[in-house]
Amino acid sequence: MEPQPPNSPALPRGVQPLPKRLIPLRRPPILSVVEGRFVPAGTDGITLDAVNTAWESLCARVPRAHDGPMLHVLGTSRNGHGGVTIHCVPTSYRFHAVAREGLDTGVRPIGVKAVCFTPSGQILMAQRGAETLNYAGMWEFAPAGTLEPGVSPVDMILRELREETGWTASAPPVARALAFDPVVRSWEVLYVIDVLPPVVPLQTWECSELRQVNPGEWPEPLAPVAAQMLPIVEAERRVRAR
């Protein structure tokens, strides 16, 4: 078993950490979405009653937990030099979220995250709010979000940028990698974005604090997925320094 990072939140009883994975990208990923809706009932003895019970328990602990449509990753495949195709099927968020209650249904969502460079060369970071499901109280690169069916990854990260930080992109987002977060058990398309500040600072429940950080001066505790993204940050800084 791969050891968890020092700042990793405890996994639920019976849930084992999975290996990390980082796939560099030279061009945007392609989503291949199959028709239908994935329901994990009947797999490994999982029942919808068990899922609903676990979901109710989770909502009692995390009242802001919200069910909704998302995409489950069936697998990934290379599609040429520096590209990747992500094979997905629609499903519901609750089928993934109940892993926090010890019920792993095998659902692996696809999400988006970004490293945002400000005009001064600093990087946006957010401390996750106390009411969030994953990495509460920990620092992540902002923004981040779970991809919804019918929304492209680049449109999703731009929407999350507006809604989560209030900042806006000054240039189109550039996809740099596809990563697997072994703690949350999700795939993430990682972007780099040049951003401009809002006229009025935005405050949301998802982020208790938004901070502009000098590269290398990372706030603590740093979420494990943010630590996974540090090679992307360093590679981007080298490119920008040329």
Which domain range does residue 216 map to? 21-241
pLDDT for 3 = 32
pLDDT for 126 = 97
- Domain assignment present for 186: yes
Query: What's the CATH code of the domain at 100?
Result: 3.90.79.10
Number of domains in the chain: 1
pLDDT for 10 = 43
pLDDT for 12 = 41
- Domain assignment present for 12: no
120 CA to centre of own chain? 26
pLDDT for 6 = 33
- Domain assignment present for 76: yes
Rounded average pLDDT per 10-residue block, the chain, 242 residues? 34 46 92 94 86 96 94 92 93 96 95 97 96 95 96 97 96 96 95 94 88 96 95 92 86
- Domain assignment present for 88: yes
> What gap in Å lies between CA 188 and CA 213, rounded to an integer?
22
pLDDT for 16 = 44
- Domain assignment present for 9: no
- Domain assignment present for 179: yes
pLDDT for 7 = 35
pLDDT for 21 = 85
Give this prediction's pTM.
0.90
- Domain assignment present for 159: yes
